[in-house]
Amino acid sequence: MSMFCYQCQETAKGTGCTIKGVCGKTDDVANLQDLLIFMLKGISIYSMEARKAGIENPQINHFIMESLFTTITNANFDKESFIPRIKKALVYRSEMKTTVEKAGIKMPEVLHESASWYADTVEAFEEKAKNVGVLVTENEDIRSLCQLIIYGIKGMAAYAEHAYNLGYEDASLYEFMQRGLVETLNDELGADKLVALVLECGSKGVTAMALLDKANTTSYGNPEITKVNLGVRNNPGILISGHDLKDMEELLKQTEGTGVDVYTHSEMLPANYYPAFKKYSHFVGNYGSSWWHQKEDFATFNGPVLFTTNCIVPPPVNATYKDKVFTTGASGFPGFKHIPSRENGKAKDFSEIIALAKTCPAPTEIETGELVGGFAHEQVFALADKVVEAVKSGAIRKFFVMAGCDGRMKDRAYYTEFAEKLPKDTVILTAGCAKYRYNKLQLGDINGIPRVLDAGQCNDSYSLALIALKLKEVFELNDVNELPIAYNIAWYEQKAVIVLLALLSLGVKNIHLGPTLPGFLSPNVVKVLVENFGIAGITTVDDDMNLFLN
């Protein structure tokens, strides 16, 4: 066993990747990510003590948040980016220790090793990294709950960073991220307290998603019903993927008037729904499908690709496009050029990508037509009367929340079949790249209401929660679980984990999660989730359909 990682749905055999990640992550990168998390815990020990004395360090807060983001699935595969980050973590930990000492704060007599370990060579980093991973916690159930918290915090950090990039922060999120990391080191914290911390993580997830929703809608307007073009034009283009709308805005501004068009890919599709981006005549539409199709999509696009976040699929050795892929922010891959972060309030510099695009042929057309989306909370609220009437009249029997992630496994065809077989008096509420399993199906509408209501990215799952709470209010119900809403959610990585925890914290029960339950959930933790929240996996389409509808 040269590594151990089980944070995503595709983890080997459903138990853990031990030689190389199914995602393509090498063992040395996986181990260095473990060491980085170890160091973040050490920094947080000092930061939490300083916070008790009213000392808040914004630089530390932002470093921990961004560092967590770099470790989520498919975000950063670049070993060379983690070495300087670990070195910086050592410096920041030292600075926080000095801050605490100067403030006269008395630290506990015994501190966890993460607060004191030190090395200054890559060889020492790599040796230590082998001994600080997930399996250090021997008790399976405690380990399971601790990792559930850490993975939730990783997802929270991703949402918080997107909001931060737009100028929005919430200090309580920094506090929880750091406290959560520290609490996972507490050997005296039993299962009951860890379960409570899991639910608190979900509650803070709601806070993070609300903050990001405010940041996005204040900056770019509320998403509106939009027909998104799937075809191409004759100009050279840039394909932008990921989730960061600030990067999207800056790329559109810098390409304006250059003769270069911009297309979205995968999770960036919902950028098409925002009013602020529609003024750009060179913003063409969406190209291709969900993240795991990028090998085919990038090859036919012909022009450069920009990753603003995950999900990166390592390119084949003979890939024609690999010299045209750029990363920025938390993302990274060996051989891909990285666009540096913003400095002194200036925009990122995308000039190299634009120059390259001008030398490339126009995208090869792979499909035509349109997709309809933009059904975030305000747009659905505007349709509330029509929706309520459809429910009262029986035209809409039930809503199905089919949000979450897409992935490579063949058994994810379940979600396409499920959508196809849903009765015509049902409506799908979706967010995230899971929608690519059915958003190009011709499922029709109900009295003018499309049967697939796409709220946006996985970041926009908050809209689905708000819609459910609004319907609860409109129908004057006491419990959100009394609504005619079923939850059949696909998951892949840590942002989906925080969405799940957020729903649990809001009291939503009987969520079905697939295509498999997380490998990091021990049998006893699964039992707790089943007994307290009705969490379940999926079976067959026909059996699940019968269960949901009856």
Distance from C-alpha of 240 to C-alpha of 474, rounded to nearest angstrom: 39
For position 243, what pLDDT does the model report?
97
Distance from C-alpha of 242 to C-alpha of 457, rounded to nearest angstrom: 9
Residues paired with 373 in a beta bridge: 226
Q: Which residue has the tokens 């892949």?
A: 492
Q: How far is CA 393 from CA 251, 387, 397, 411, 449, in A?
A: 47, 10, 9, 36, 14
Q: Exposed e or buried b for every residue in 418-454, given b needs 16+ CB within 10 A?
A: bbeebeeebbbbbbbbbbbbbbeeebeebeebbbbbb
Of 42, 37, 12, nearest in space to 147 by CA: 37
Contacts 24+ apart (CB under 8 A), 134-143: 134/4, 134/5, 134/6, 134/34, 134/520, 135/4, 140/522, 140/524, 141/191, 141/522, 141/524, 141/525, 142/191, 142/194, 143/522
Helix 58-70 to helix 79-102 angle (10° resolution) is 150
For position 250, what pLDDT does the model report?
98
Q: Exposed e or buried b for every residue in 245-280, given b needs 16+ CB within 10 A?
A: bbbbbbbbebbeebebbbbbbbbbbbbbbbeebeeb
For position 550, what pLDDT does the model report?
86
Distance from C-alpha of 25 to C-alpha of 31, rounded to nearest angstrom: 10
SS3 17: strand
Half-sphere exposure at residue 440, Cβ-oriented, CA atoms within 13 angstroms: 15
Distance from C-alpha of 294 to C-alpha of 278, rounded to nearest angstrom: 25
Query: Residue 476 carries which side chain, given as an amino acid letter?
Result: E
Cβ neighbours of 393 (radius 10 Å): 9
Report H helices in 120-268.
122-129, 140-165, 171-183, 191-220, 245-255
Strands, E, within 340-470: which ranges? Answer: 370-373, 398-401, 426-430, 445-446, 449-450, 452-454
Distance from C-alpha of 538 to C-alpha of 528, rounded to nearest angstrom: 18
Q: Are 339 and 350 in contact (CB under 8 A)?
A: yes
Distance from C-alpha of 167 to C-alpha of 120, rounded to nearest angstrom: 35
Q: What tens-digit pLDDT sequence spans the chain (550 residues)?
A: 999 999 999 999 999 999 999 999 999 999 999 999 999 999 999 999 999 999 999 999 999 999 999 999 999 999 999 999 999 999 999 999 999 999 999 998 889 999 999 999 999 999 999 999 999 999 999 999 999 999 999 999 999 999 999 999 999 999 999 999 999 999 888 999 999 999 999 999 999 999 999 999 999 999 999 999 999 999 999 999 999 999 999 999 999 999 999 999 999 999 999 999 999 999 999 999 999 999 999 999 999 999 999 999 999 999 999 999 999 999 999 999 999 999 988 999 999 999 999 999 999 999 999 999 999 999 999 999 999 999 999 999 999 999 999 999 999 999 999 999 999 999 999 999 999 999 999 999 999 999 999 999 988 999 999 999 999 999 999 999 999 999 999 999 999 999 999 999 999 999 999 999 999 999 999 999 999 999 999 999 999 999 999 8
SS3 437: helix
For position 178, what pLDDT does the model report?
98
For position 379, what pLDDT does the model report?
95
Distance from C-alpha of 267 to C-alpha of 288, rounded to nearest angstrom: 11
